[in-house]
Structure 1
């Protein structure tokens, strides 16, 4: 019996990523598949943070031929963003930079209204804050589109309505459980729209969805719908990641609602140091003498894991830190201090790039153009002459 839960709405317990692959039916990434990504291979790939997928080879083969490819990875705007939210966006930027990929970023404000005890006013304020953080990543405005469900309902809803006809209540319940309201029951059709939108705008091509593993049900449902559609679309491919560890350890994912706080993208250096020193689970010994004699375990040490996931670029440095920690030469407090500084360095760069000014001006270059909208949405009153 499973002692953990992983759904799009709940992650509990110590996650067994191998057992999840059996449950979800995804394939572990091979060394050969990783070699097909642009070089140097991104650290999220070579360190197996992204560890499994579906139809990844189709995406990389098309990219190698110089064909059109796209990436979809989104955000549910229900609060301020923390470190666990942002690394898929930096990975998407890597694919855009290396492959010229289109990047589509849906913000599911409606889904958060259906699933959280929040008003739309609260959700939209988080949406505006989240957009500034997403754009701080540095996406190319010519090849990046932000799509907000309620703001872009003229595009999203007609497609979702069409896709919803291919989705039965039984299929929704089998994948997600019984939805608490009809809005959340309809949302899988909206999510499928997000994942197919680049193809509806730019024509049939491979799309890759790099997401945390808990979001895989959305991809599975979309792939089933895409197979039934009259539109000339391919099933989206998926690249599934492990969760960025929560500071308190225990195999779950970072969250702002944990007893151990998440590290927010707005945190300053001193706040990061305080959170890491006070809350990061240590793989070290109880006292200095014991640590010097027996060493620590970097595989469970959260400060080390944060470095390994994203915040230390150099593999050589990472290996040295692990060796020094195991030998007892590097103390837990020293490892935490090093990790806190690397995270703070990253955040200071991110915060400098965070766009200022009126949000309408900030987001305008990244919105769907009228020509792009016209390719997707039906014109109810166009294409037919008036009759007397």
Structure 2
């Protein structure tokens, strides 16, 4: 972590320090999500939006117009399978499912197993194991297979690589260095072209339409670079829009929940007792050092991890989260009780997810309806100038 508390780093490959989200908007050149834009989301507006966990955006207006007027629109949100999934990973997928249910959105879910091999000290076999495990978690969410495509970079290389090769000519190495820092290897140098393929693939299959990318703010560089490619107008695509979210905090306090941290994350596979123990033992408290002091001075829900979990994702009722914050500040609600409430809500959510995951059949069978079809692959390749594997 940087020595100066005012310093922080936010990139797709590193998040360090205490993050100033306002300064990030200045650095990245994104715009704050406004109340007027929030009001245009289909009712009921998801808590992640109405509570401004998704706090910034790029070109969200075209997506909202398409989503509320019956036009074709899509959502892209993916996963880098380098480990078991935790509760911070799953929120964007449930948000995408929510919008799909409301508006009939197409949802494209890329799994960047190649990038994780480039970026992590893990074998191909390890990445493959995590890919299959992560796929089961994603399938358990229950996306509509008729309106959802799941793409795995190495498995679907016949469509991913030709598109990425076309987009790679639009990006210079100096642009990659300026956007990401100096890559550790040539795989990471090339990966932005693959990420652009992920974000533009719905349009390359379905034709030009508005696409929204709901992601944590550290992934915004991928969107910025892809938007630059789309702006050159060589491929008849619209610039993808983005919703940028704050990070679900780690149990230890401010920052990003990470599977690689020394403090454990709450995994999607954790049972109720494990969740309770992790929250009780590790969740950073905004309360006072004694019951007497807490009763007198109250706690701070803004830094209390248990409250933040409820606020971000696990408590649907706005009235309830406001009540909890008020009682915590007043000292009527103790930290231990707040931890119990959060642990119960998280465990309830996980049990529902785990029940759906357990009901899945074999992975190959379950995944088949979500695979990009041969016709869709051909259409996408043709849109960038390929036919039957050859340049036109």
- Regarding TM over 0.5, the answer is yes
Query: What secondary structure sits across from 1:259 in the alignment?
Result: coil
Greater shift after overlay, 370-379 or 319-328?
370-379
Per the TM alignment, residue 360 of structure 1 is displaced from its structure 2 partner at its CA by 0.9
Query: What secondary structure sits across from 1:252 in the alignment?
Result: coil
Distance 1:175 1:104 in 2: 24
Matches within 5 A, 1:55-94: 55-94=59-98
Query: What secondary structure sits across from 1:104 in the alignment?
Result: strand
Per the TM alignment, residue 65 of structure 1 is displaced from its structure 2 partner at its CA by 1.7
Distance 1:22 1:195 in 2: 23
The answer for the alignment partner of 2:370 in structure 1 is 366
The runs of 5 or more residues in structure 1 that have no matched partner are none
Distance 1:358 1:39 in 2: 36
The answer for the alignment partner of 1:350 in structure 2 is 353
**From 323, 326, 340, the counterpart of 1:323:** 326
Per the TM alignment, residue 257 of structure 1 is displaced from its structure 2 partner at its CA by 2.0
Tell whether 2:33 aligns with 1:29. yes
Contact 2:271-2:347 within 8 A present in 1 as well: yes
Per the TM alignment, residue 231 of structure 1 is displaced from its structure 2 partner at its CA by 1.3
The answer for the alignment partner of 2:230 in structure 1 is 226
Distance 1:53 1:335 in 2: 32
Greater shift after overlay, 192-201 or 323-332?
323-332
TM-score by length of 1: 0.97
TM-score by length of 2: 0.96
Tell whether 2:291 aligns with 1:275. no
Q: RMSD over aligned Cα, in angstroms? A: 1.3
The answer for the alignment partner of 1:216 in structure 2 is 220
The answer for the alignment partner of 2:9 in structure 1 is 5
Tell whether 2:261 aligns with 1:258. yes
Query: What secondary structure sits across from 1:309 in the alignment?
Result: helix
The answer for the alignment partner of 2:23 in structure 1 is 19
The answer for the alignment partner of 1:306 in structure 2 is 309
Query: What secondary structure sits across from 2:213 in the alignment?
Result: strand
Contact 2:378-2:388 within 8 A present in 1 as well: no
Per the TM alignment, residue 230 of structure 1 is displaced from its structure 2 partner at its CA by 1.8
Per the TM alignment, residue 99 of structure 1 is displaced from its structure 2 partner at its CA by 0.9
Distance 2:288 2:260 in 1: 28
Per the TM alignment, residue 356 of structure 1 is displaced from its structure 2 partner at its CA by 3.0
Distance 1:193 1:288 in 2: 55
**From 123, 128, 133, the counterpart of 1:129:** 133
Alignment length (residue pairs): 383
Query: What secondary structure sits across from 2:175 in the alignment?
Result: helix
Contact 2:276-2:343 within 8 A present in 1 as well: yes
Greater shift after overlay, 1-10 or 318-327?
1-10
Distance 1:76 1:319 in 2: 34
Per the TM alignment, residue 381 of structure 1 is displaced from its structure 2 partner at its CA by 6.4
Matches within 5 A, 1:36-55: 36-55=40-59
1:269-321 alpha-carbon deviations (Å, 9 max, x no partner): 00000000000000111011111111111111000000000000011111111
The answer for the alignment partner of 1:379 in structure 2 is 387
The answer for the alignment partner of 2:183 in structure 1 is 179
